């Protein structure tokens, strides 16, 4: 298919662009296969707006005589308005945008066409391979092994080709366990707590069904992670009711009788459309320009967004607490093991492991616990808060995770190497990007699409020092401790950087950015000064000593 077929009017002049907090600008609008480009042709300060079609969540069109108005709502929650003279032009442009922003085929997406303008120092696709992760692990324990049982994605389509499992369990047993778990997602290692050797595993629900099926290999597999005489915890991210109902559909949960060494704790993390609706309500509330305090708080509460944040954080804290405080191993699962399970396992690692609070470590966490673990990004992030279509697989699961990370980051402002901008950047790229990282639903799809060969990795771009400098937290001070966030509702806040981002003058934000860079530079100056003074002091002290010795 040629993009040209979809673009009947590639260009329109005298278009007026309206954005909140900016004066309206007149200019030329161009449509390309992947971008909507607006350029104000003013001599003095030409302004250009490039918008990826894939970033467009929904559009609305209106007519006033022959003047067409298109309101574009983006997945990054921005809203812009274009006034286009001429009925036909506006109709053409609107239908082109609609078609181009809802392309069916992944291979037509921009990442397949994007050619980087920067030099690639490190290929992001090769950065976080399971082998490297395993190497780190085997330096502290030899109880685990890399299994290639899923080499051709034959055992579990949503798992990566290699996974880490207990050494004592062979591939044959793994195949059997896979038949007992939803979507074949058998328990695999998620995190090893070096401090006490406890582990966190994740899987999907066991397929016990109504007649209480059991699987000896499954029991053996998870028991293999326990120390003699020790107990473990199974954190089920569903409420007991939901878990019971799942049995009717062939799912279920680990029964006490068959897993006597495990205690099960049910948490209640919502899924799919409930989350999606929550996001829609929240964004509606944030975009409401009436300044009534009363309505604001009710709307905020009614959206339930912060309740979801609290539930997820609580479950993650609980998992971390079991591992660090109770000295017990943990297995986390919900139904499919691709959404709430990953929220819990990844957040628990941020709480427990200082490495995950560094930039590299966090990238590695996103790769391990989200991309390789098979979170269906393509499905979940197909639409954002302005979507009209109510597909049941869209859900802001990853955004909720990022929000939780932001909550912890806000509570521990010095313990993270990255800043809020880094999280916002990940949010944007998960929904629309020139990079291939977040395309596809799992490693299987990614390898079929040949993404590593045909597209650029987000990490190749981010990890260059020019970009990194924007994402560094100047206050970072490596904190080797476990950090316990407060989950009290009073401690949780709305993530203004995402949800109120476009409702404020961005000039203000630009300045904040500039101010921040100033502070970082000032900080560097100070550090340099400190170092210089230290050196001078040391020199003087040695001089002193020499004088005394004389």
Partner 1 sequence: MLGSGAKATKPSFVSYISPEEIHIKEPVEKEVNLHLLPGELLLCEANTVYKYIQEDGSNRGTCGKLVCTNFKIAFLNDDSASDDNDPQFKNKIVGENDITLQCVDQIYGVYDEKKKLLTGQLKKYPEKLIIYCKDLRVFNFCLRYTKEEEVKRIVSGIVHHSQTPKLLKRLFLFSYASAAPNNTEGRNETVMFDTFEDWRDELERTKGHVKYKVVTTNEGYRVSEKLPLYFVVPICVSEESIVKYEGRGIPIWCFSCHNGAALLKMSTFPKEQDDSTSQMQKAFLDGIYKTISKPPYELLKTEDLSSSLPSLQDIQTAYTKFKQLFLIDNSTDFWATDVKWFSLLESTNWLEIIRRVLKKAIEVAEYLERQHTNVLLIEESATDLCCVISSLVQVMMDSYSRTKLGFQSLIQKEWVIGGHRFLDRCNHLHKSDKEEAPVFLLLLNCVWQLVQQYPPAFEFTETYLTVLSDSLYVPIFSTFFFNTQHQRDTSTSGEILQSQSSPFRFLTVWDWSVQFDCKAQAFLNNPIYAEKPKPDKTQRKNTRFKHQRQLSLPLTQAKSSTKRGFFREETDHLIKNILGKRIGKFINSSDEPPNSFREFYDSWHSKPVDYHGLLLPRIDGPEIKVWAQRYLRWIPEAQIQGGGTIATATKILDLIEEVKSLQVKMDEKHSQAISGDVHSVPMLRSSARLSSLFPFALLQRQSIKPALPTSTWKDLEDEDDLVKRDDEFVDLSGDI
Q: Which of residues 68-97 bind partner 1 (CB under 8 A)?
A: none
Q: Are 197 and 188 in contact (CB under 8 A)?
A: no
Report helix angle 305-324 to 397-411, nearest 10: 70
Specify the length of the chain in residues: 550
What is the DSSP annotation of 105-139? -GGGSGGGT---SS--SS-GGGTS-HHHHHHHHHT
What is the DSSP annotation of 367-393? IIIIIITT--HHHHTSS-TT--S--TT
Ranges within 398-417 binding partner 1 (CB under 8 A):
411-415
Pick from 249, 505, 538, 542 the residue near partner 1 by CB under 8 A.
505
The verdict on 483 binding partner 1 (CB under 8 A) reads yes
- Count Cβ atoms below 10 Å from residue 145 Cβ, excluding itself: 18
The stretch near partner 1 (CB under 8 A) out of 33-41, 82-90, 446-454, 532-540 is 532-540
Supply the minimum distance, in Å, between the C-beta of residue 57 and partner 1.
22
Pick from 105, 211, 453, 465 the residue near partner 1 by CB under 8 A.
211
Supply the minimum distance, in Å, between the C-beta of residue 296 and partner 1.
3
Token couple for 478: 């490596």
CA separation for the pair 139, 313 (Å, rounded):
30
CA separation for the pair 550, 156 (Å, rounded):
77
Supply the minimum distance, in Å, between the C-beta of residue 313 and partner 1.
10
The stretch near partner 1 (CB under 8 A) out of 273-281, 388-396, 439-447, 496-504 is 496-504
The stretch near partner 1 (CB under 8 A) out of 127-135, 139-147, 438-446, 508-516 is 508-516
Size of the site for partner 1 (CB under 8 A): 79
CA separation for the pair 158, 337 (Å, rounded):
10
- Count Cβ atoms below 10 Å from residue 191 Cβ, excluding itself: 26
Supply the minimum distance, in Å, between the C-beta of residue 537 and partner 1.
6
Pick from 245, 477, 524, 545 the residue near partner 1 by CB under 8 A.
477
Pick from 8, 78, 194, 263 the residue near partner 1 by CB under 8 A.
263
Pick from 2, 119, 152, 294 the residue near partner 1 by CB under 8 A.
294
Ranges within 37-56 binding partner 1 (CB under 8 A):
45
What SS3 state is found at 475?
A: coil
Q: Is the CB of 112 or the CB of 484 nearer to partner 1?
A: 484
Supply the minimum distance, in Å, between the C-beta of residue 248 and partner 1.
11
Per-residue buried b or exposed e for 363-378, using 16+ beta carbons within 10 Å of the residue's own CB: bbbbbbbbbbbbbbbb
CA separation for the pair 532, 407 (Å, rounded):
37
Pick from 122, 135, 170, 511 the residue near partner 1 by CB under 8 A.
511
The verdict on 21 binding partner 1 (CB under 8 A) reads yes
Q: Is the CB of 21 or the CB of 50 nearer to partner 1?
A: 21
Q: Is the CB of 351 or the CB of 439 nearer to partner 1?
A: 351
The stretch near partner 1 (CB under 8 A) out of 53-61, 315-323, 355-363, 426-434 is 315-323
CA separation for the pair 423, 436 (Å, rounded):
18
The verdict on 255 binding partner 1 (CB under 8 A) reads yes
> Going by DSSP bridges, is the β-strand pair 79-85/11-18 parallel, antiparallel, or unpaired?
antiparallel
Report the chain's terminal Cα–Cα distance, integer Å. Answer: 88
The verdict on 485 binding partner 1 (CB under 8 A) reads yes
Q: Are 87 and 438 in contact (CB under 8 A)?
A: no
């Amino acid at each position: 298919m040629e993009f040209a077929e979809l673009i009947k009017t590639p260009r329109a002049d005298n278009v007026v662009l309206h954005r909140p907090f900016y004066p309206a600008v007149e200019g030329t609008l161009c449509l390309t296969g992947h971008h909507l480009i607006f350029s104000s042709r003013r001599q003095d300060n030409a302004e250009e707006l490039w918008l990826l079609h894939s970033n467009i969540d929904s559009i609305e069109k209106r007519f006033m005589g022959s003047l067409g108005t298109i309101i574009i709502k983006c997945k990054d929650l921005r809203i812009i308005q274009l006034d286009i003279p001429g009925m036909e032009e506006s109709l053409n442009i609107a239908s082109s945008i609609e078609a181009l922003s809802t392309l069916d085929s992944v291979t037509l997406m921009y990442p397949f066409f994007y050619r980087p303008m920067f030099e690639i120092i490190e290929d992001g696709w090769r950065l976080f391979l399971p082998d490297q992760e395993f190497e780190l692990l085997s330096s502290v324990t030899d109880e685990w092994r890399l299994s290639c049982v899923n080499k051709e994605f034959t055992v579990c389509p949503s798992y990566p080709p290699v996974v880490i499992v207990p050494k004592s369990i062979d591939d044959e047993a793994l195949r059997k366990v896979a038949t007992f778990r939803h979507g074949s997602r058998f328990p695999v290692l998620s995190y090893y707590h070096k401090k006490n050797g406890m582990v966190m595993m994740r899987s999907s629900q066991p397929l016990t069904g109504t007649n209480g099926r059991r699987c000896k290999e499954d029991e053996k597999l998870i028991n293999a992670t326990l120390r003699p005489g020790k107990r473990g915890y199974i954190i089920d991210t569903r409420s007991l009711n939901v878990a019971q109902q799942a049995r009717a559909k062939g799912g279920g949960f680990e029964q006490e009788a068959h897993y006597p060494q495990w205690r099960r704790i049910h948490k209640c993390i919502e899924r799919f459309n409930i989350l999606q609706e929550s996001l829609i309500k929240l964004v509606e509330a944030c975009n409401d320009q009436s300044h009534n305090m009363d309505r604001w708080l009710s709307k905020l509460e009614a959206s339930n967004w912060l309740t979801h944040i609290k539930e997820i954080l609580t479950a993650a804290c609980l998992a971390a607490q079991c591992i660090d405080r109770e000295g017990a191993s943990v297995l986390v699962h919900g139904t499919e093991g691709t959404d709430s399970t990953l929220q819990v396992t990844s957040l628990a690692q941020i709480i427990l492991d200082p490495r995950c609070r560094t930039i590299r470590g966090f990238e590695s966490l996103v790769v391990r616990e989200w991309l390789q673990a098979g979170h269906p990004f393509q499905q979940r992030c197909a639409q954002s808060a302005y979507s009209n279509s109510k597909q049941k697989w869209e859900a802001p699961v990853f955004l909720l995770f990022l929000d939780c990370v932001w909550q912890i980051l806000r509570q521990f402002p010095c313990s993270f190497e990255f800043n809020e901008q880094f999280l916002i950047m990940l949010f944007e790229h998960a929904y629309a990007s020139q990079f291939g990282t977040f395309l596809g639903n799992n490693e299987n799809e990614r390898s079929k699409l040949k993404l590593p060969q045909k597209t650029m990795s987000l990490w190749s771009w981010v990890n260059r020092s020019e970009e990194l400098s924007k994402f560094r937290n100047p206050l970072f001070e490596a904190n080797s401790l476990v950090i316990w966030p407060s989950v009290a509702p009073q401690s949780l806040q709305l993530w203004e950087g995402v949800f109120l981002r476009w409702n404020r003058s961005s000039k203000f934000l630009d300045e904040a950015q500039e101010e921040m860079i100033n502070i970082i530079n000032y900080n560097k100056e100070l550090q340099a000064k400190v170092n210089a003074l230290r050196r001078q002091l040391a020199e003087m002290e040695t001089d002193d000593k020499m004088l005394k010795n004389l």
